Amino acid sequence: MRRAHIAAVLVLLTVAVHLSPTPASCREYVVMLSRNINIRTGPGTDRVIIGRAWKGDIFGLSGETGNWWKIHMFSGDDRYVSKSWAAKLTESQILKGHNLRLPADVDVRLAMYRDIESALARARGEAEELISASLDVERNGNVERILEDRFVLEVLSIYSIQPALFPDLIEEGQDADW
């Protein structure tokens, strides 16, 4: 049952990714210019920090609000980084050194996919511990999406994979029935 729920979450994430502009298909990106850049739930330093990005990390760009870039994240929610610490990149400005490709080794991609499944399950479990869905479904969902973004970002960082490649990995995993 647990594996079926994880698969359902991945399907929903893929549907959300395919219904909105995705990093894999967008033509504009944001590259981090420094290390330890806060990624927030909204445009402001008073918003929750969901994780940190590192110098050279690339995210799909979905817009801007004042002094903030709006970036695509793994939960389907947009997140924000300060324009002071990140720069807009167009597809033509992507350099070989940006490494905007998944690893060639299918076993590595499979391991990443499975680690992302585990991260999603962990996010669901921890969100339920913090705010039970039986008490407040909306708050539980918000916490779960924040934790999904945080934990998936950690997985991609461990594998040194650009965050903008997440939709490509999920699509391959589902196509291959991993």
Q: Please provide the DSSP assignment of the chain as one string.
A: -HHHHHHHHHHHHHHHHHHS--TTT-SEEEEE-SSSEEEESSSSTTSPEEEEE-TT-EEEEEEEETTEEEEE-TTS-EEEEETTSEEEEEGGG--GGG--S--S-HHHHHHHHHHHHHHHHHHHHHHHHHS-TTT-HHHHHHHHHHHHHHHHHHHHHHTT--GGGHHHHHHHHHHTT-
CB of 68 within 8 A of CB of 81? yes
Q: In whole angstroms, what is the distance from residue 62 CA to residue 164 CA?
A: 12
Instruction: Give me the percent of the chain exceeding a pLDDT of 90.
Output: 78
Residue whose pair of structure tokens reads 């960082």 in the numeric block: 157
pTM: 0.82
- Find the range with the poorest average confidence among 31-40, 76-85, 86-95, 116-125: 86-95
The mean pLDDT of the chain is 88
Q: What angle do CA 10, 153, 124 make, to 5 degrees?
A: 45
- pLDDT tens digits, residue range 139-153? 999 999 999 999 999
User: What domains, with CATH codes, occur in the chain?
Assistant: 1-178 (2.30.30.40)
Q: Is the pLDDT of residue 25 over 70?
A: no
Nearest to 144, CA basis, from 4, 5, 45, 3: 5
Q: How confident is the model at residue 14 (pLDDT cuts 50, 70, 90)?
A: very low
* Residue 177 burial class via C-beta count within 10 angstroms: exposed 0-12, middle 13-18, buried 19 and up: exposed
